[in-house]
Amino acid sequence: MGNSKGLFSWTEKSSAVLQQGGVIGPDERLPWPQTAVMGVQHVIAMFGATVLAPILMGFDPNIAILMSGIGTLIFFLITGGKVPSYLGSSFAFIGVVIAATAYAGKGPNPNIGVALGGIIACGVLYTVIGAIVQAVGTGWIERFMPPVVTGAVVAVIGLNLAGIPIKNMAASNFDSWMQVVTFVSVALVAVMTRGMVQRLLILVGLIVATLIYAALTNGMGLGKPVDLSPIANAAWFGLPGFAAPVFSANAMLLIAPVAIILVAENLGHIKAVTAMTGKNLDQYMGRAFIGDGVATMVSGASGGTGVTTYAENIGVMAATKIYSTAVFVVAGLIAVVLGFSPKFGALIQAIPLPVMGGVSIVVFGLIAVAGAKIWVDNKVDFSDNKNLLVAAITLVLGTGDFTLKFGQFALGGIGTATFGAILLYALLNRRK
């Protein structure tokens, strides 16, 4: 029935469905005003990482925001509106881009062109992989990635990122306490409120924590105060700094293999959404890879980073039980508008880092639990040593960010855990 619908038609459901313990599926939506507010929440969830990745590579963050919106809309069109997903800047590119451009770590990257050529090459490879999956089907994925493997991979996506808020987003003891205030605020909103406020737990918790932070810093002088002057000084409208790619064989060989990591991330994303919605999305796997690959090429051609399906947004879906693809169309359109508005960029960047850190702790934790839910829902038998060892080794490889180098190419954390889980299961499964 879902397939007979038009691309932009969703079955409208009232929020009463959620209050009765139901979910809003990919082909359903809440009334438009509530859908729009949910879109804002998804934009805020992806914003911290989508802005952080380009800054670490010396790219223009406003281009990254613009391309995340355009990429999300491309993905929606190519998957026929069937896969709820947000595409944001991929952290998998940071190491190889810095290596390819010899970037010093501060200010604009002077060799951005060669990085963009490599990112486009990566997008081409990713699209080719997607076309192969589309042609031969996903049976081989089922064989290589049973629930014990997919659960471990999804859990690792959250656990691997755990160090970012805890190590990098709290510079002082006060900041650490503000992270506590933030995740407690989100938890209280999630448990103590009802209706739409409860569905907006990330957004409402973030606003509450930011107000508390401002009262303690600007009001009582306890930490780094919230600085609103960049918002006041920023223009409402302005073009981001577009850049042109340069095709260098060395940079392309170094950056293109990142496609393998993007495949692993996208695969984990689709498995997580399948587990949460109860709707099998495997038939859209090839189209999802192609959508992400095309979006990465378009982003690289304009001066943006490579893009990937965003774990932060899986966390928001897990918390809200709203999987409507309409929400991601709204989020993509908002991001496009924000990409042309330096003032909105300044507003989001004014959110205190420890508050973003507290929100990240919640979101990454929700992803890890989504992995465990795959095991529970599929009744994975951990008295079987094969399952036990695959899960155990995968979790520690991913959480500890275990890295293997192949010449100039480094496969770290999520990549080693994903391929380690697949290969280890294949090896141990030989004994029937």
pLDDT of residue 105: 59
Higher pLDDT: 133 or 165? It is: 133
- pLDDT for 311 beyond 60: yes
Mean pLDDT along residues 79-97: 84
Mean pLDDT along residues 305-317: 83
Mean pLDDT along residues 157-171: 78
pLDDT of residue 147: 83
- H-state helical runs in 162-310: 163, 173-192, 195-199, 201-214, 229-233, 249-255, 258-277, 285-302
Neighbouring-strand partners of residue 307 = 89
Q: Rounded to whole angstroms, how far apart are CA atoms 77 and 86?
A: 13
How many Cα neighbours within 13 Å face the side chain of 52? 17
Mean pLDDT along residues 230-248: 85
Confidence class for position 4, pLDDT limits 50, 70, 90: very low
Least confident of 97-106, 168-177, 323-332: 97-106
φ/ψ (deg, to 5) at 28: -120, 170
Least confident of 27-36, 321-330, 374-383, 407-416: 407-416
Mean pLDDT along residues 398-413: 77
321 contacts: CB under 8 Å, gap ≥ 6: 18, 22, 23, 24, 199
Q: Rounded to whole angstroms, how far apart are CA atoms 276 and 377?
A: 10
257 contacts: CB under 8 Å, gap ≥ 6: 122, 125, 409
- pLDDT for 1 beyond 50: no
Q: Rounded to whole angstroms, how far apart are CA atoms 199 and 360?
A: 17
Higher pLDDT: 377 or 328? It is: 328
Percent of the chain predicted with pLDDT > 90? 22
Q: Rounded to whole angstroms, how far apart are CA atoms 347 and 136?
A: 46
- pLDDT for 126 beyond 90: yes
pLDDT of residue 104: 66
- pLDDT for 3 beyond 60: no
Query: Which tokens belong to 198?
Result: 């409860």
Q: How far apart are the first and last CA of the chain?
A: 39
357-382 pLDDT, tens digit per residue, is: 888 788 778 778 878 887 887 889 99
192-227 pLDDT, tens digit per residue, is: 887 667 666 777 888 899 999 988 888 777 878 888
Is the CB of residue 112 less than 8 Å from the CB of residue 59? yes
pLDDT of residue 199: 64
pLDDT of residue 425: 92
The angle formed by the CA atoms of residues 32, 322 and 163, to the nearest 5 degrees, is 125
pLDDT of residue 201: 76
Least confident of 3-7, 87-91, 114-118, 370-374: 3-7
- pLDDT for 90 beyond 80: yes
Mean pLDDT along residues 153-179: 81
Q: Rounded to whole angstroms, how far apart are CA atoms 81 and 298?
A: 19
pLDDT of residue 92: 75
Q: Rounded to whole angstroms, how far apart are CA atoms 205 and 165?
A: 16
Q: Rounded to whole angstroms, how far apart are CA atoms 210 and 187?
A: 15
Mean pLDDT along residues 127-145: 83
pLDDT of residue 2: 41
pLDDT of residue 291: 95
Query: Which tokens belong to 214?
Result: 């401002």
- pLDDT for 103 beyond 80: no
Q: Rounded to whole angstroms, how far apart are CA atoms 176 and 183?
A: 11
Q: Rounded to whole angstroms, how far apart are CA atoms 432 and 429?
A: 6
Q: Rounded to whole angstroms, how far apart are CA atoms 4 and 233?
A: 49
Is the CB of residue 307 less than 8 Å from the CB of residue 68? yes
34 contacts: CB under 8 Å, gap ≥ 6: 15, 196, 199
pTM of the predicted structure, to 2 decimals: 0.71
Is the CB of residue 226 less than 8 Å from the CB of residue 213? yes
Q: Which of 265-269, 288-292, 375-379 has the highest mean pLDDT?
A: 288-292
Least confident of 107-116, 122-131, 399-408: 399-408
- pLDDT for 84 beyond 80: yes
